[in-house]
Chain A
Amino acid sequence: MQLSQISMMAVAAAEEEASGHGQSLSSDVVMRLGPFDISNHILSAWLVMLVLVIVAFLATRSMKLVPSGLQNLAEVIVEALIGLIEQVAGPRGRAFAPVVITLFLFILSANWLGTLPIFENIQVIDEAHHTEVPLLQSPNSTLNVTGSMAIIVFVLSQVFALKANGVGGYMKELFIPNPLHILTEVTRPVSLSLRLFGNIFAGGVLVHTMLGIAPFVTFAFLGLELFVGAVQALIFTMLSLVFLAIAVTPHAGHDDAHGDAHAAAHH
């Protein structure tokens, strides 16, 4: 292609982006499955889950004692994550490993797959509002998905606290050393969900804006979004782990294994 044609295409793309086709804050419905409306974020989440299941299936298909190939890669990842869990939450932290590792793998895959061009570019017609909505959107770019993960972590931490301390101990924990403990408990899922949502949503808007302003350096912002996606996945995972570990630790016991947990939580 000649340079003039490329620059004309870039100008056309810039005009189209500037007309406001960017990300919407609401989760738009793109199909119906029986009585349920399926939004584009949920469809993307299903796609991410499908990719994860396929990779897991391929990695464990013919498991060898001395791993190689995909099984080796999967074992490296899982061992690194379990090492991190034991470093932060102590040896009892392995009870949280399935939830925490699932959170990390889902958020990381969702953030990284969300940078692929198939997301936010295939438009379907939304009959109800007669507009075009994207068929696929990065799953974490809506508060629905990040909020649900944060609520899951919150409910799990309360359940673990009840199991570890008993009902009486749980009620005592809520008020005794710190009457505002309830406030910190409630703001944790809020901050957890808003952090991930804000980072991923803002990254998507940034890439759209850069496509409108300076299309030829958009790859740099896509790289930034990959980096931010990985860091935010790690942060969400570590914070969830710390909250779960704190939930099962009564305030009376301050052993060194939970030193990291306490230091990180009272930030």
Chain B
Amino acid sequence: MEHWGAALAIGLGAIGPGLGIGYGVGKAMEAIGRNPEVSGTILAPMLIGLGFAEAIAIYALVIAFLIPK
């Protein structure tokens, strides 16, 4: 039963960050398409923002690891 808990934790927990990362990168692509010169300037802030979004998924992953213990 606890394996269900771990699976649900990471499965549901990855939905939000997945959407967030897709939305963020999509907006970055839009900005680059509008103005190709800023691709270097956008890259670093985009990666930092993606790090924040991915951290939420990592919280869920840590819980998923902790449940079977």
Residue ranges of A at the interface with B (Cβ–Cβ < 8 Å)? 25, 191, 194-195, 197-199, 201-202, 205, 231-232, 234-235, 238, 267
Contact = CB atoms under 8 A, between A and B. Distances in A.
9 contacts: A25-B65, A25-B66, A191-B55, A194-B59, A195-B58, A195-B59, A198-B58, A199-B54, A234-B48
A199, A205, A234: most-surrounded residue (chain B CB, <10 A): A199
Interface string B39-67: 00000000110111011001101100110
B69 interface: yes
A205 B66 CA distance: 13
- Chain B residues touching A, majority SS: helix
B69 A25 contact: yes
Interface residues of B, number: 14
A231 B48 CA distance: 7
B66 A235 contact: no
B35 to A, nearest CB: 21
A22 B50 CA distance: 28
Given A25-B65, A25-B66, A267-B52, A231 B47 contact: yes
Interface in B2-61: 47-48, 50-52, 54-55, 58-59, 61
Contacts of A234: 47-48, 51
Given A25-B69, A191-B55, A197 B48 contact: no
A201 B52 CA distance: 17
A202 B66 CA distance: 12
Nearest to A202: B61
A201 B61 CA distance: 10
A235 B44 CA distance: 11
B52 A198 contact: no
Nearest to B53: A267
A114 to B, nearest CB: 17
B48, B58, B62, B69: most-surrounded residue (chain A CB, <10 A): B58
B2 to A, nearest CB: 15
A235 B58 contact: no
B59 A198 contact: yes
Contacts of A199: 54-55, 58
Given A194-B58, A197-B62, A231-B50, 20 more contacts: A25-B66, A195-B51, A195-B59, A198-B59, A198-B61, A198-B62, A199-B54, A199-B55, A199-B58, A201-B65, A202-B58, A202-B62, A231-B48, A231-B51, A232-B51, A234-B47, A234-B51, A235-B48, A235-B55, A238-B48
Nearest to B51: A235
A197 B58 CA distance: 9
A138 to B, nearest CB: 15
